Amino acid sequence: MSKIDELINKYCPDGVEWKTLLEVCESITAGGDLPEKYLKGQKYPDEEYPYPIYSNGSNNNALYGFTNNYKIEKDAVTISARGTIGYHTVRKGKFTPIVRLITLIPDNFIIVKYLNYILDITSIGSSGGSIPQLTVPEVKKISIPIPPLPVQEEIVKIL
Average pLDDT across the chain, whole number: 90
pLDDT in tens, 91-113: 999 999 998 899 999 999 899 99
pLDDT at 124 over 90: no
Residue 131, pLDDT > 80, answer no
pTM of this structure: 0.89
The 8 Å CB, 24+ separation contacts for 149-153 are 149/109, 149/111, 150/7, 150/11, 151/4, 151/7, 151/8, 151/11, 151/12, 151/16, 152/110, 152/111, 152/114, 153/111, 153/114
